[in-house]
């Protein structure tokens, strides 16, 4: 599994979980700390965390971890199911990322991982910012009354090219 978060300031470090499956505990242990560290470094207390409805995200312990650690969270009860158009990654950024990967160089798992890391660095900040800005208005409309939201919502994505040996969509995490 490959996880990457995106926000108005750019992209998070790439998280690569190349063995096993991702359950709630693995998500809590290996993905959420990366999202939190990046978010705190970039936004401090002005951070809102958003993720999709994948089982590792909606598990009660994952939800508790997020509520205990992130300054702001859009929880599972305030995020519409099956709503890829509310995610800038599904609408724009993933396509940009895929086009930055030199698939001819990805001839082994090791080379694929190296190429994915290079591709992340090739995503221009202006493209990410434009996508996040276009997402902010629909994103704000789904929030519950009184929810404290941060300017410049964050969103994220992941894909699993490692498992299948090629590009394929497999939602797991969102920042």
159 domain-assigned: yes
Domain with 75 in it: 2-164
Question: Is 82 domain-assigned?
Answer: yes
The per-type count for the chain, helices as H runs and strands as E runs, is: 9, 6
11 has which bridge partners?
6
Residue 53 DSSP code: -
pLDDT digits (tens, 9 = 90+) for 36-59: 999 999 988 888 888 877 889 889
CATH (domain of 68) = 3.30.420.10
| Residue 54 near residue 45 (C-beta atoms within 8 A) | no
Question: Number of folded domains in the chain?
Answer: 1
What number is the average pLDDT over the span 132-150?
Answer: 49
In the numeric block, the tokens 């996508």 are attached to 131
* Structural domain includes residue 139: yes
Is the predicted pLDDT of residue 34 greater than 90, yes or no?
yes
Residue 81 maps to a domain: yes
| Residue 171: inside a domain | no
3-class SS string, 60-100: HHHHHHHHHHCCEEECHHHCCCCCHHHCHHHHHHHHHHHHH
CA distance 93 to 89: 4
User: pLDDT grade, residue 81 (50/70/90)?
Assistant: low
Give pLDDT tens digits for 86-130: 555 555 777 777 888 889 998 999 999 999 999 888 888 888 777
**Phi, psi at residue 59, to the nearest 5°?**
-60, 145
Q: Is residue 173 part of a domain?
A: no
* 174 part of a folded domain: no
Classify residue 94: in a domain, yes or no. yes
């Amino acid at each position: 599994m490959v996880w990457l978060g995106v926000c108005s300031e750019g992209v998070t470090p790439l998280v690569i979980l190349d063995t096993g499956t991702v359950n709630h505990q693995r998500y809590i242990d290996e993905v959420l700390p990366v999202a939190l560290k990046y978010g705190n470094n970039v936004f401090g207390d002005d951070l809102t965390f958003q993720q999709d409805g994948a089982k590792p995200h909606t598990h009660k312990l994952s939800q508790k971890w997020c509520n205990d650690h992130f300054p702001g969270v859009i929880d599972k009860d305030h995020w519409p199911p099956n709503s890829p158009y509310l995610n800038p990654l599904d609408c724009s950024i993933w396509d940009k990322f895929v086009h930055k990967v030199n698939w001819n160089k990805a001839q082994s798992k090791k080379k694929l991982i190296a190429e994915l890391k290079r591709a992340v660095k090739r995503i221009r900040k202006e493209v990410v910012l434009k996508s996040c800005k276009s997402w902010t208005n629909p994103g704000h409309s789904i929030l519950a009354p009184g929810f404290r939201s941060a300017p410049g919502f964050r969103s994220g994505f992941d894909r699993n090219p490692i498992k299948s040996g090629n590009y394929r969509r497999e939602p797991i995490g969102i920042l």
